[in-house]
């Protein structure tokens, strides 16, 4: 028969239980991961999200000594894969690599989404930025942003620009420029980045925003002219091209990114540990070199920095989508 604990022993036991409860999240994070981690990429294999996710998670896997298994769940601009993650256990064993499209979808799809973009996820950290560049067809007689704005003002509604679809990053990047510059140019949406750029090269449109990696070859060959970067910092890949903010529209900032998310409620010690491992991977010279060759700028962040950016971009994209009346067709 067990003897009852003395008051002192009972107090010590209670303290031990309390101490264990307090320390358990950190201890859990130190032991995590004890099994493979699923990395949902809600885009097809071979795209920017997939490339970045595989490069970084390979290094995180090596560092943590556990498999990080890529699971491509493409469809509906990333919302199919995001739904999978939102409904997964918040235990650190399902994460997602997604882009700025994630915050835009909340406004494009609205009630059609089966999850809440800002409540059902926590941002783990940013991986890369995808600098957007304003490019024009060489036949357009402009060599700077100020030239472009002046020409557009002299020809209201006569310049056409292409995008990869309604509500896409190129569409919203140009919408912000139009709003800030007070110009009137016509939007022609295409189904994807390749036809968007093809239309510009073929002269069907005269201007466009595109990720640097999509048009770097054409810029270098003189088939397109770069006149401004959407980011607030210069690009390592196009060092001679000024930012739009510096070139005549102070405060312009539209810089799409790729980052990592986890289901809301995932223990913060796990989030912090994963963020630390991601940032360590992004500091490796081989990783930096590989990403830069893909025209992607490594952009490590803290957990709090990334979640602040998410809130800012959520509001920004909401206003631009309302302004353009973009909708999912």
Predicted local distance difference test score (pLDDT) of residue 295: 82
What is each CA distance from 207 to 69, 78, 153, 227, in whole angstroms? 40, 27, 15, 10
Judge if 238 and 308 occupy the same domain.
Answer: no
Q: How far apart (Å, rounded) are the C-alpha atoms in residues 104 and 125?
A: 18
Q: Which of 247, 278, 308 represents a domain boundary (last residue)? A: 247
Left, alpha or beta for 224 (phi > 0: left; psi -120 to 50: alpha)? beta
Quote the domain boundaries for residue 199. 132-247
The answer to whether position 242 is within a domain reads yes
Predicted local distance difference test score (pLDDT) of residue 181: 96
Judge if 264 and 282 occupy the same domain.
Answer: yes
Closest CA to 40 of 110, 130, 115: 115
Judge if 219 and 312 occupy the same domain.
Answer: no
Predicted local distance difference test score (pLDDT) of residue 29: 64
- What CATH number is attached to the domain comprising 110? 3.40.190.150
Judge if 165 and 122 occupy the same domain.
Answer: no
The answer to whether position 315 is within a domain reads yes
The answer to whether position 26 is within a domain reads no
Closest CA to 32 of 293, 219, 302, 269: 269
Q: How far apart (Å, rounded) are the C-alpha atoms in residues 167 and 175?
A: 10
- Residue whose token pair is 């196009």: 238
89 within 8 A of 120, measured Cβ to Cβ: no
Judge if 98 and 46 occupy the same domain.
Answer: yes
Q: Which of 211, 229, 247 represents a domain boundary (last residue)? A: 247
Judge if 192 and 90 occupy the same domain.
Answer: no
Judge if 123 and 260 occupy the same domain.
Answer: yes
The answer to whether position 284 is within a domain reads yes
Query: Averaged in consecutive runs of 10 residues, what is the pLDDT profile of the chain (329 residues)?
Result: 50 49 59 97 89 97 97 91 97 96 91 95 95 94 97 96 87 93 94 89 96 89 96 84 96 93 98 98 96 89 98 93 79
- What CATH number is attached to the domain comprising 174? 3.40.190.10
Closest CA to 119 of 73, 82, 86: 86
Predicted local distance difference test score (pLDDT) of residue 20: 45
Predicted local distance difference test score (pLDDT) of residue 25: 57
Q: How many domains would you assign to the chain?
A: 2
Q: Which of 199, 221, 247 represents a domain boundary (last residue)? A: 247
Judge if 318 and 236 occupy the same domain.
Answer: no
Predicted local distance difference test score (pLDDT) of residue 1: 47
Judge if 122 and 202 occupy the same domain.
Answer: no
- Residue whose token pair is 């540990």: 273
Judge if 149 and 60 occupy the same domain.
Answer: no
Judge if 176 and 207 occupy the same domain.
Answer: yes
Tell me the three-class secondary structure of the chain, residue by residue.
Answer: CCCCCCHHHHHHHHHHHHHHHHHHHHHHHHHCCCCCEEEEECCCCCCHHHHHHHHHHHHHHHHHCCCEEEEECCCHHHHHHHHHHHCCCCCCCEEEEEECHHHHHHHHHHHHCCCCCCCCEEEEEEEEECCEEEEECCCCCCCCHHHHHHHHHHCCCCCEEEECCCCCHHHHHHHHHHHHHCCCCEEEECCCHHHHHHHHHCCCCCEEEEEHHHHHHHHHCCCCEEEEECCCCCCCCCCCCCEHHHHCCCCCCCCCEEEEEEECCCCHHHHHHHHHHHHHHHCCHHHHHHHHHCCCEECCCCHHHHHHHHHHHHHHHHHHHHHHCCCCC
The answer to whether position 63 is within a domain reads yes
Cis peptide before 33 (omega within 30 of 0): yes
The answer to whether position 81 is within a domain reads yes
Predicted local distance difference test score (pLDDT) of residue 24: 56
């Amino acid at each position: 028969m067990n003897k009852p604990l003395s008051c002192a022993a009972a107090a010590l036991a209670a303290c031990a239980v309390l101490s264990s409860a307090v320390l358990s999240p950190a201890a859990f994070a130190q032991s995590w991961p004890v099994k493979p981690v699923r990395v949902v990429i809600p885009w097809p294999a071979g795209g920017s999200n997939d490339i970045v996710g595989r490069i970084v998670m390979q290094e995180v896997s090596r560092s943590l000594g556990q498999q990080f298994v890529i699971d491509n769940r493409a469809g509906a601009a990333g919302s199919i894969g995001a739904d999978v993650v939102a409904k997964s256990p918040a235990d650190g064993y399902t994460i997602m690599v997604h882009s700025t499209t994630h915050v835009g979808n909340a406004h494009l799809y609205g009630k059609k989404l089966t999850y809440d973009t800002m409540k059902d996820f926590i941002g783990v950290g940013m991986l890369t930025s995808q600098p957007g560049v304003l490019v024009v067809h060489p036949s357009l007689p402009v060599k700077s942003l100020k030239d472009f704005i002046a020409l557009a003002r002299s020809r209201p509604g006569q310049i056409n620009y292409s995008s990869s679809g309604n509500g896409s990053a190129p569409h919203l990047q140009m919408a912000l420029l139009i709003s800030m510059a007070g110009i009137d140019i016509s939007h022609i949406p295409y189904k994807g980045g390749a036809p968007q750029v093809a239309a510009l090269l073929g002269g069907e449109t005269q201007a466009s925003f595109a990720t640097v990696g999509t048009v770097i070859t054409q810029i270098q060959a003189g088939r397109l002219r770069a006149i401004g970067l959407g980011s607030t910092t210069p690009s390592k890949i196009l060092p001679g091209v000024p930012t739009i903010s510096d070139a005549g529209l102070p405060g312009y900032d539209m810089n799409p990114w790729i980052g990592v998310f986890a289901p809301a409620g995932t223990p913060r010690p796990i989030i912090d540990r994963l963020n630390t491992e991601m940032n360590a991977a992004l500091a490796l010279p081989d990783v930096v070199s590989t990403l830069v060759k893909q025209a992607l700028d490594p952009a490590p962040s803290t957990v709090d920095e990334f979640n602040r950016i998410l809130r800012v971009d959520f509001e920004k994209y909401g206003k631009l989508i309302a302004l353009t009346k973009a909708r999912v067709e």
